A and B are shown apart, each in its own frame.
Chain A
Amino acid sequence: GENVEQHPSTLSVQEGDSAVIKCTYSDSASNYFPWYKQELGKRPQLIIDIRSNVGEKKDQRIAVTLNKTAKHFSLHITETQPEDSAVYFCAASRGSGTYKYIFGTGTRLKVLA
């Protein structure tokens, strides 16, 4: 069935270091891959996304890479700051007019000052 695996479940980095979170999806029909950040007690917020026709996308300190052959996609955060501390979720979705997202189980990122 449809499944998204996400690793690691927790990640601690020193402020200024980089953080990488990896996801693997099972549904080869998936073509849209968003990443959400959820701070404690708040709603998930979309931070970056990538479509299957693109291999990499950057937005300031955040980047996402996609390897369709291996069904892997990753979130890269450079120069981490304490405010980056949150739970990050990856997701995969098919096209064809559906918004059904399959989410990974989340990564709790702690940026240590």
Chain B
Amino acid sequence: KAGVTQTPRYLIKTRGQQVTLSCSPISGHRSVSWYQQTPGQGLQFLFEYFSETQRNKGNFPGRFSGRQFSNSRSEMNVSTLELGDSALYLCASSLNPGQGLREQYFGPGTRLTVT
């Protein structure tokens, strides 16, 4: 099976702009979670989607949003970019949260640089 894929892999944006990142989960996986990874803060949970519904949200401002499509692909959007949004954005997919299967598999990430 193909692993989790993310596009684009690298992105450079200017402060004030917005950005959309995409994540395609492993085939058959229905849950997608997003994390922000920075050297200072480590991996921080952004949000989780299952069956096109947001199940959980982390402590990030409303500028960070996401959605999931019927094919389980997910996008996250960051509006009004700030310098502090520069980070590696990772998505992770999982099979089915209700089946006792807990493993999450990460994509390669999108490296966002805000200048």
Contacts and interface: CB of A to CB of B under 8 A. Distances in A.
Interface of A: 32, 34, 36, 42-46, 49, 51, 89, 91, 93, 97-106
Given A34-B104, A44-B90, A98 B97 contact: yes
Contacts of B44: 103
A44 B33 CA distance: 14
B104 A99 contact: yes
B29 to A, nearest CB: 10
20 contacts: A34-B103, A43-B108, A46-B105, A51-B102, A91-B43, A98-B48, A98-B56, A98-B97, A99-B31, A99-B48, A99-B56, A99-B94, A100-B33, A100-B48, A100-B58, A101-B35, A101-B45, A104-B42, A105-B41, A106-B42
B102 A93 contact: yes
B103 to A, nearest CB: 6
Contacts, number: 66
Interface residues of B, number: 27
Contacts of B42: 89, 103-106
Contacts of A98: 48, 55-56, 97
Given A44-B43, A89-B43, A34 B102 contact: yes
Nearest to B6: A43
